[in-house]
Chain A
Amino acid sequence: MRRRIFSRTHLSLRMFVAMVMALVLIIQAPVQAQTTAVAATELKTMVTKLTKEVDERLAATDKALATIKQSSGASSSATEVIIKSLEANKKDLTELKSKLSRTTTLADAKLLAKQMDDQYDKYASANVSAVAIKDSSAQQQVQKQLKTVVSDAQSMIDTAGAADMNVRSLQENLKGVLQLIESIGAIIAAVIALIASLASGNFSETSTIFKAIAGQLSQNLVSIDSAQNSLGGIVDTINNMQINNEASER
């Protein structure tokens, strides 16, 4: 007896299964389309957010580069280290931006977001180093000007002394101011060396040190104010003195 490959029941069952599957596919299609649309929107939102962040970091890095290149006074080795860190970050950020523009999946975008979070530490360290070195350079410039005024005041005191005027008190005051200025200079030099060593580090590990540096630079400003006030008093005294020209023209 010839065996039937498909019995009627079997066939009916298969047809039922096929119909159910077709029904499932018909029902699922819009859901699938909706899921794809949501993913596309999510991808677009994420890429926009990441691109905005990269652009902000690039702008901040460019600003920091311009700042440090304008800074004068800090040692060239310190500024070179920071410039290298900033340029390396700029390169990384530019590559990230390029990758972002080519990203087609949410998974890739999320991976890039993770990379950006990991890159933040270096970005922040280099940028904070740049402003801190600008700050130190500005103080170094002030310290040099203080020394120039002290030198000029010393010259006037020498002239007054040569004219037999009593300058002992002035001389002692000026000596005190000079010591203060020298200590300010030593602190600034140490701060600059420290900043250079932190420029390529991780900000999460160095932020406390940077805060301490900012605190030290604040203290320096207090010392600078003090030196300025003392020097102002000395200059006022010199202004009220009458120093014989004969002594100066010898």
Chain B
Amino acid sequence: MHPTQSKTKQKVIVVSLISVAAVIILGGAAYAVMQFVSTKNKEQAAAQESTGHIKSDKGVTKQTLNQGMNDLADSIEESKAVHTETEAVIKDMSTQVKVSQ
């Protein structure tokens, strides 16, 4: 084999090896990232599966919170009705009919 041909062949081999190595490294990195994401997802899914109900340190649950919002809505409606009455009374009292006239 001619020395020039031999050198070219060596170069091709080296480039091939480097390419294979790069593919392996990149593939490994991609795999590692995928594994990481997958693990996180699994952890999250596991966490979700384990929460049949949610309860805080102070014993508050989602139900407590939602009930609080419902009670709040009722109280706000009552408060609006009371305010309407206040406005009506102020308007009514502002027009005094003099009984002496």
Beta-carbon contact of B90 and A210 below 8 Å: yes
Asked if A141 CB lies within 8 Å of chain B CBs, one says yes
- Chain B residue nearest in CB terms to A64: B89
Distance between A11 CB and nearest chain B CB, rounded to angstroms: 55
B residues less than 8 Å from A120 (CB atoms): 96
Q: List 14 A-B contacts (CB under 8 A).
A: A50-B99, A113-B100, A117-B98, A124-B93, A135-B79, A159-B54, A207-B93, A228-B72, A228-B73, A238-B65, A239-B66, A243-B51, A243-B56, A246-B50
Docked complex Cα distance between A45 and B87 (Å): 33
Beta-carbon contact of A117 and B82 below 8 Å: no
A-to-B contact residues, CB < 8 Å: 49-50, 53, 110, 113-114, 116-117, 120, 124, 127-128, 131-132, 134-135, 138-139, 141-142, 145-146, 148-149, 152-153, 155-156, 158-159, 162-163, 203, 207, 210-211, 214, 217-218, 221, 224-225, 228, 231-232, 235, 238-239, 241-246, 248-250
A residues less than 8 Å from B56 (CB atoms): 152, 155-156, 158-159, 243, 248
Docked complex Cα distance between A103 and B50 (Å): 84
Distance between A34 CB and nearest chain B CB, rounded to angstroms: 25
Majority-rule SS of A interface residues: helix
Knowing A214-B87, A243-B51, the reply to whether A235 touches B69 (Cβ < 8 A) is yes
- Chain A residue nearest in CB terms to B55: A248
Beta-carbon contact of A131 and B86 below 8 Å: yes
Asked if B94 CB lies within 8 Å of chain A CBs, one says yes
Beta-carbon contact of A207 and B79 below 8 Å: no
B-to-A contact residues, CB < 8 Å: 44, 47-48, 50-51, 53-58, 60, 62, 64-66, 68-69, 71-73, 75-76, 78-80, 82-83, 85-87, 89-90, 93-94, 96, 98-100
Distance between B8 CB and nearest chain A CB, rounded to angstroms: 56
Beta-carbon contact of A134 and B93 below 8 Å: no
Beta-carbon contact of B60 and A142 below 8 Å: no
Docked complex Cα distance between A243 and B54 (Å): 6
The list of the 10 closest CB pairs from A to B, nearest first, reads A113-B100, A155-B56, A159-B56, A138-B79, A149-B68, A242-B48, A135-B86, A124-B93, A155-B60, A155-B58
